[in-house]
Structure 1
């Protein structure tokens, strides 16, 4: 059985890796609350308050109000991302104030020594950020207005980054980002084009990215996935990923 202190150390490690792999445009600190804001992209991970110390619960009402003013200046709804590092007192405060809870998600990991990559296709990551962003937006069915913001985020990633896309001619079928950070390989923006799902494209692309990362020294793969995304969970579990911890989001009434 994992001791609670060991569990929290693991959570801290993946949370820090996530911040490095998916950098917000602006980062502010209120004690150990990390306030991440990004004008060019609406993703909740890039626009949320992330409490990182279970004991840092002083003056919650005042600090939430300060955070709210920052979010208002960016035109973003005040959002907290609640991991095991936030602790029960803050969650109790949210409950008492009637905040909604949504988008429960899992952080999953897998030792790369166990990854089924020996038969994976050797794929060279794309060097052209613009080409990858076009493929990613098309695969996800996302609005073209996100192009500049996603390009800026990818360009700001400091660890070595692999941009992977599977294509049929000029048609993108699947895409993902693999961030190699020390012995960790984080997978982000994993998506398969509607109409092309359940044909193995995602599995092949994930394995190619993990092979790329393992050859460069990564020892552990990890990713984040919404708990309601059963097809994705089935794929990741079949590859050998297991749950490390969960997080969710909170917003005030009416937000």
Structure 2
């Protein structure tokens, strides 16, 4: 399974499939369309995935500067820095335009996938997802070390997920060890917000919870797992690759000079 390198129509179709699944699995509070640019904004959470312009057609290159201006005004109204999320669907024309404007490039991430057909899950824990969103969010904030002020926004996003979302937490008594969200969407199982509590890392908790979630998703008809991970997160990349995940394509973010 080779990484995406060129951009033929067949490759772009694969990318579009995962991009669409990502939008459904992690929905922004407000979505606007400017041609095939999807402008996603979320007042309650600062995450870049939820606050970015996502171009979805390399051929949509008309009036770029004018459309950037319109997007900038929307971002300004939300108090967010103008951010483009650049996948293979963004195309070279837009990339060169941003290069000429001196836009910064940062936070490259990988989209990875794993066929579930041959994955050995017999020994994985049979775990029922949490029904209590508040309890899960509390555990997730602790494992990820995130600020409690993000609770309302995270609750809003999780509550808006349209496909079936499994909220998984591995706990020792009342102490959360690892958490993740598994979104079952047709034949796809997307893993989001995967985190292990700092003092409990390198003990296999994340691996065990991922396998439990994938077992749950496969029983519901999922045939392929997928996830997004920052290229600089070497421990997570090592874990995912050891499970058999392979890179499909990459994306990164861009902001104008001084943003």
TM-score of the aligned structures, taking structure 1 as reference length = 0.98
Identify the match of residue 20 of structure 1 among 19, 24, 34: 24
Matches of 2:71 and 2:174, distance apart in 1:
44
Confirm or deny that 1:186 pairs with 2:190. yes
Note the residue ranges of structure 1 that are not aligned, 5 or more in a row. Answer: none
Aligned position for 1:113: 117
Aligned position for 1:133: 137
1:114 Cα deviation after fit: 2.5
Aligned position for 2:126: 122
Query: Map of 1:11-160 to 2, 5 A cutoff?
Result: 11-160=15-164
TM-score of the aligned structures, taking structure 2 as reference length = 0.97
1:196 Cα deviation after fit: 1.0
Matches of 2:119 and 2:155, distance apart in 1:
30
SS at match of 2:117: helix
Matches of 1:114 and 1:192, distance apart in 2:
26
Runs of 4+ in 1 over 4 A off after TM superposition: none
SS at match of 1:114: coil
1:118 Cα deviation after fit: 1.4
1:116 Cα deviation after fit: 2.7
Matches of 1:24 and 1:99, distance apart in 2:
24
SS at match of 2:195: strand
Confirm or deny that 1:232 pairs with 2:231. no
Figure out how many residues of one structure are paired with residues of the other and give that number. 255
Matches of 1:111 and 1:183, distance apart in 2:
10
Asked if 2 retains the 8 angstrom alpha-carbon contact of 1:107 and 1:243, the reply is yes
Asked if 2 retains the 8 angstrom alpha-carbon contact of 1:116 and 1:239, the reply is no
1:7 Cα deviation after fit: 1.2
